[in-house]
Structure 1
Amino acid sequence: MTIEIHQLRYAVATADAKSFSRAAGALNVKQITLSRRVQQLENRLGVKLFERSTRGAEITENGRPFIEQARRIITDVDNLRTTASNVSCGLQGRIAVGYCSPLMAGNLRLAISDYLTKFEDVQFDGVEAGLERLFHGLHSHTLDVAVAPIGHREDGISSRRIWSERLFAVLPNDHALAEREQIYWQDLRREVFVVPASGLGPIFGNLIAARLTEQGKRPNIILQDTSLESVLSMVAAKRHISIATEASQGIAWTDLRFVEIHDLTGPARLEYSLYWRADNDNPALQRFFNLIEERYPG
Structure 2
Amino acid sequence: MTIEIRHLRAAIVTAGTQSFSRAAKILSVKQSALSRRVQALEQMLGVQLFERTKRGTFATENGKAFLTVAERIVTDIDNLLTTAKNVSYGEEGRLAIGFSSSLMTGNLRFAIGDYIARYPDVQFDGIEGGTEKLFSGLQARMVDAAIIPALITEPGITRRNLWTERLVVAVPDNYPLTTADAIHWTDLRSEVFVLPTQGIGPAVSELLAAKLAAHGHRAKIITQDTSIESVISTVTIGRYITIATEASTGVNWPDLKFLEISDNGGPARLEFALYWRPDNQNPALGKFLKMLQERYPILQGE
The answer to whether the superposition gives a TM-score over 0.5 is yes
By how many angstroms is 1:78 displaced?
8.1
- Whole-angstrom distance in 2 between the partners of 1:173 and 1:38: 40
Secondary structure of the corresponding residue to residue 226 of structure 2: coil
Indicate how the Cα distance of structure 1 residues 141 and 170 shifts in structure 2: closer, same or farther if over 3 A, else same. Answer: same
In structure 1, distance between residues paired with 2:61 and 2:138: 28
Match of 2:65? 35
Q: Which residue of structure 1 lines up, in the alignment, with residue 27 of structure 2?
A: none
Preserved CA contact (<8 Å) 1:184 1:261:
yes
CA contact (8 A) 2:158 2:277 kept: yes
Tell whether 2:269 aligns with 1:263. Answer: no
Larger radius of gyration: 2
Size of the aligned set, in residue pairs, is 242
Alpha-carbon distance, 1:80 to partner: 5.4
Q: What's the CA shift for 1:131?
A: 0.7
Note the residue ranges of structure 1 that are not aligned, 5 or more in a row: 8-28, 40-70
Partner residue, 1:207: 207
Specify the alignment match of 1:224 in structure 2.
224
Q: Distance in 1 between matches of 2:196 and 2:87?
A: 39
User: For residue 174 of structure 2, what is the amino acid of its counterpart?
Assistant: D
Quickly say closer, same or farther: Cα 1:154–1:81, change in 2 above 3 A: farther
Alignment-derived partner of residue 139 in structure 1: 139
Q: Describe how 1:226-241 pairs up with structure 2 within 5 A.
A: 226-241=226-241
**How big is the shift at 1:217?**
5.5
- The alpha carbon displacement at 1:265 in A equals 4.5
- Specify the code of the residue in structure 2 equivalent to 1:279: D
1:79 to 1:224, Cα distance in 2 relative to 1, 3 A? closer
**Residue 288 of structure 1: how far off its partner (Å):** 0.8
Q: Cα gap change, 1:87/1:271 in structure 2, threshold over 3 Å: closer, same or farther? A: closer
User: Structure 1 residues 282, 181: CA separation in 2 closer, same or farther (over 3 Å shift)?
Assistant: farther
Partner of 2:188: 188
Q: Distance in 1 between matches of 2:60 and 2:291?
A: 42
Distance 1:283 1:263 in 2: 41
Does the 8 A contact of 1:157 with 1:277 survive in 2? yes
Q: Contact 2:189 / 2:217 at 8 angstroms: preserved in 1?
A: no
What residue is the counterpart of 2:42 in the other structure? none
Following the alignment from structure 1 to structure 2, what is the Cα–Cα distance between the partners of residues 78 and 284? 22
Q: Could you tell me which amino acid in structure 1 is paired with residue 263 of structure 2? A: D
Structure-to-structure mapping, 1:25-104, within 5 angstroms: 32-33=62-63, 35-36=65-66, 81=81, 83-87=83-87, 92-104=92-104
Which one is further off, 205-214 or 185-194?
A: 205-214
Give the counterpart letter for 2:104 in structure 1: M
Q: Which amino acid aligns with 2:65?
A: S
Q: Does structure 1 conserve the Cα–Cα contact (< 8 Å) formed by 2:145 and 2:275?
A: yes
Distance 1:273 1:82, change over 3 A: farther
Q: Over aligned residues, Cα RMSD in angstroms?
A: 3.1
CA distance in 1, matches of 2:254, 2:95: 36
**Superposed CA offset, 1:111-170 (max 9, x none):** 111111111100000011111101011011110000012411111100111100011111
User: What displacement does 1:185 show?
Assistant: 0.3
Residues in 2 aligned to 1:95 and 1:78: alpha-carbon distance in whole angstroms: 18
Instruction: Check conservation: 1:195, 1:201, Cα contact below 8 A.
Output: yes
Judged with a 3 Å threshold, the aligned counterparts in structure 2 of structure 1 residues 88 and 171 are, in CA distance, closer, same or farther, namely same
Q: What code does the residue aligned with 2:135 have?
A: F
Distance 1:37 1:148 in 2: 31
In the alignment, the residues of structure 2 paired with residue 283 and residue 203 of structure 1 have an alpha-carbon distance, to the nearest angstrom, of 31
Q: Please report how far the alpha carbon of residue 107 of structure 1 lies from its aligned counterpart in structure 2 after TM superposition.
A: 0.2
The 3-state SS of whatever aligns with 1:177 is helix
What is the aligned-residue identity percentage?
51
Asked if 1 retains the 8 angstrom alpha-carbon contact of 2:168 and 2:244, the reply is yes
Instruction: Measure how far apart 1:200 and its partner are.
Output: 1.1
Summarize deviations over 1:186-244 as a string: whole Å, max 9, x none: 00000010111211112211111111136875221111121111100111111111001
